[in-house]
Structure 1
Amino acid sequence: MSLIQFYNVTKVYQPHITALDDISVKIDKGEFVFLVGPSGAGKTTFIRLLFREEVPTRGQILIGGRSIARLKRREVPFLRRNIGIVFQDFRLLPEWTVFENVAFALRVIEVSPREIKPRVEKALERVGLSNRARMFPHQLSGGEQQRAAIARAIVNNPRILVADEPTGNLDPATSREIMKLLEEINYQGTTVIMATHAWDIVNSMRKRVIALQQGRLVRDDREGAYGYEA
C-alpha cells in the first residue's frame, strides 16, 4: 500500500476558485518527490491538504491507509506528529535559542522532559548544528537557520517531510548543502515531498517530478526534469 494516496482530489475556494482539479497520485514510503509548477499551479494547496490545514472539496486523501479528511479535530495533532514541515522563511522564534526552537516541536506533543534533551541533540547533530545550539536565529546564517528549521521538522522522526520552497531564500551554494541534507534524510527512510521553483536543483537530482498546472496534474515522471521555462 502506498504511504500517501490522493484519489480524485478537487479543492475549490470561494467564490469559485479551483486550486486543485481531480488529482489522483500515489507516493510510496521512502520516495523523494519534487512538486513543481508555475505560481498558482496548486502546489501550496497540495501541501496544505497533506497536513490537514485544508480538506478536499471532493475526493479522498489517505495517509498510511487512513482518510485524513475524516479525522476528528482532536485526531489532527496525531496526524501531524508523522509529518515534518519546512518553510521557505524558516519560521524560527527569534527570542528562543536554536535548542529551544527545536525542543518546542516536542513540547507541543507532550514528549517527556527527560526525552527532549537527547532527541534535540541528536536532531542538531544530524543537521550539523551541534555547536550552534545556544545561539539565537539572528546569529545564524540563512543556511544555518534553514538547518535549524529542518532539525525542528525531523526531531520527532516523522514518516513524511514536506518542504515548501526550502531553498527559496538561499544562495546556490547553501541551497546545494540543504539539498544534500534533505537527500540524506530521505536515504534514512523518510519520505520527502518538496515544492520548488528551483529548476537547476530538480534537473540535477533527477528524482520523481509531479508537475501541476492550473490545478491539474500534467506530468508525473519517475526521474524527471523541471520542464518549465527556466
Structure 2
Amino acid sequence: MIQFFNVTKVYKGDIYALKDITVKIDKGEFVFLVGPSGAGKTTFIRLLFREELPTKGQILVGGRSITRLRPKEIPFLRRNIGVVFQDFRLLPDRTVYENVAFALQVLEVPPKEIKARVEEVLARVGLSGRAHLFPHQLSGGEQQRTAIARAIVNKPRILVADEPTGNLDPVTSREIISLLVDINRLGTTVIIATHAWDIVNSLKKRVIALDKGCLVRDDREGVYGYEA
C-alpha cells in the first residue's frame, strides 16, 4: 500500500527533516507515528500526500511512484488519502453538513449522492443531530469529528491524522481515537502522528518511531517509548 524507499528530505540551510527512511505499510494497517517534536512526523505526512517532494528516494502508494506524478495527477492521489489536522481546518462560514459536503462538491459528485453520503458519514461519527450547526457552535471534539467525517466521506483507502487529539481533553481524545480504530476495522489504512503516549501504550498497535529524522524503531505491537 505505502512504501518509502531511502527517503531523505532536506530543507534550506541543510536541515535534515528525514534521513534515509525505508518503511512499508500494508493495506488495512493501523500505525502510530511517534517521536519528539522535530522528529520528522509532519514531514513524513506531507510527503505522503504530495504536499512536498523528497530530496532523495522514492515513495509508492498503491504500487505507483507519487514522486513522479504530474501536477494534474496529484488530485487523484489525494482522493484516496483523507487527512485530519490538529487544528481541524473547518470552513467557519459553513455548517457541519456543508463542510463535509464540500469535499464531494469539488469532485462534482451529483447532489443526490452527496446528500446520502454526507448523512451516512455524519451518522457514523455521531453528528447527525449537529449537521445544521457552525464550527463555532461545536465543542473541540465535535469539530474534530466533523474534520474526520470530511476526510472519510470520499471513502479514501488511507486516512492520515496529524496530532488529531492535540487540542482535546483526555476523555474526548480517547473517543476520537476509538472512532479512528472503528474506521480502520472497516478496511481503511490509518496512520496517526501523535504525542499521546497513554493512547499509544494502551492500544498496542504498530509503532513507527522517528528521532532527528531517523527511523529508530518499528514495532508491530509497540509503545510510545519516549518521556511522557
TM-score scaled by length of structure 2: 0.99
Partners in 2 of 1:200 and 1:138 — Cα distance? 29
- Counterpart of 1:4 in structure 2 is 2
Instruction: Quote how far apart the aligned CAs of 1:109 are.
Output: 1.7
- Counterpart of 2:26 in structure 1 is 28
Partners in 2 of 1:132 and 1:106 — Cα distance? 19
Q: What is the alpha-carbon root mean square deviation over aligned residues?
A: 0.6
Unaligned regions of 5+ residues in structure 2, if any? none
Q: 3-state DSSP class of the match of 1:92?
A: coil
| 1:209 to 2:218 alignment | no
| Residue type of the alignment partner of 1:147 | R
Instruction: Quote how far apart the aligned CAs of 1:111 are.
Output: 1.5
**Which among 28, 40, 43 is matched to residue 42 of structure 1?**
40
| 1:222 to 2:208 alignment | no
Listed as ranges, the matches of 1:141-220 within 5 Å are: 141-220=139-218
Cα distance per residue 1:195-222 (max 9 Å; x no partner):
0001001000100000000000000000
Q: 3-state DSSP class of the match of 2:198?
A: helix
TM-score scaled by length of structure 1: 0.98
Partners in 2 of 1:138 and 1:89 — Cα distance? 13
Instruction: Quote how far apart the aligned CAs of 1:107 are.
Output: 1.1
Partners in 2 of 1:61 and 1:107 — Cα distance? 29
Instruction: Quote how far apart the aligned CAs of 1:157 are.
Output: 0.3
Cα distance per residue 1:35-66 (max 9 Å; x no partner):
00000000000000000000111100000000
| Residue type of the alignment partner of 2:223 | A
The structure 1 segments of at least 4 consecutive aligned residues displaced by more than 3 Å after TM superposition are none
Listed as ranges, the matches of 1:28-177 within 5 Å are: 28-177=26-175
**Which among 15, 18, 27 is matched to residue 17 of structure 1?**
15
Unaligned regions of 5+ residues in structure 1, if any? none
| Residue type of the alignment partner of 2:172 | T
Q: 3-state DSSP class of the match of 1:116?
A: helix
Report how many residues are paired.
Answer: 228
| Residue type of the alignment partner of 1:95 | D
Instruction: Quote how far apart the aligned CAs of 1:114 are.
Output: 2.2
